[in-house]
Amino acid sequence: MTPFSLPPSSFSLSAHPHSLLFVTISGAHRFGFPSLDSDYDLRGVHVLPIDDVLGLQPGEETVEKSGFYDGLEIDLVTHDIKKFMGLMLKKNGNVLEQLLSPLVMHTTPEHDELKAIAADCITKHHAHHYLGFAATQWKLFQKEDAPRVKPLLYVYRVLLTGIHLMRTGEVEANLVRLNETAKLTYIPELIDRKLNGTEKGTLDQVDLSFHEREYERLRAELEQAFENSRLPERPSGAEALDDLLVRVRRKTEA
């Protein structure tokens, strides 16, 4: 876990309307290829007051706040703990990546408990999340008149994350570390373009047919990794999540 601080700005987590369980960094900073002008994607879990849970009027299950703070673009999204746990029990790779991000802005002992339970929420069917996400990013990359490096990097990051997860059961979202195993020779150059360019930077020269072949090859590799995976068919962490949820709610009530 790496304590993460934003560059100096007027933004503060203390302005969040609810108690926070954790806040981590997601997006390009998490994935290992932030541009000079990349925004900061903050993701986390909040805990609604007990009255908001028990009353007829539901509280804010999701809180979203985005804007510029002294020139710093920040996008903050948090879910109430119950909603987040529900997503953990589905084949949602995003919430696992957010929960297990090593770039931590705010944490609690309950965050550590939630991370420990995450291993029992991973199934082989998370492969479908990564296959679908990669397909979406590939379509985005293909349809642009001036192909951008960002969606192409997302295609490779997502596919390699899925392959790694199916083979090891570990959630790794940093493309630099993923490529230490994959050893794709073109990845460092693409990352360098993104690191030294802008968020919407384009590729001056791109071999579309080459990347299409690589996309299809890695997609097939992920599908095969899914077939061969020894990960469980269903999550087994529901009971532990329920126990933690009840304890957190009681703590909030106290």
- Span 172-230, pLDDT tens digits: 999 999 999 999 999 999 999 999 988 888 887 788 999 999 999 999 999 999 999 99
13: three-class secondary structure by DSSP: helix
- Residues in the chain with pLDDT < 70? 1-2, 254
Identify the pLDDT of residue 1.
Answer: 62
Q: Which class does domain 2-119+235-253 fall in?
A: alpha beta
Strand 40-47: give its sheet, edge to edge. Answer: 2-3, 103-106, 19-26, 40-47, 72-80, 62-69
Identify the pLDDT of residue 198.
Answer: 84
Identify the pLDDT of residue 2.
Answer: 65
Identify the pLDDT of residue 3.
Answer: 80
Locate the domains of the chain by residue range: 2-119+235-253, 126-228
This model's pTM is above 0.75 = yes
Identify the pLDDT of residue 146.
Answer: 87
Contacting residues for 148 by C-beta, under 8 A, at least 6 apart: 141, 200, 201, 202, 203
Burial of 149 from C-beta contacts in 10 A (0-12 / 13-18 / 19+): buried
Specify whether the backbone of 210 is left (phi greater than 0), alpha (psi in -120 to 50) or beta.
Answer: alpha
- Amino acid (one-letter) located at 74: I
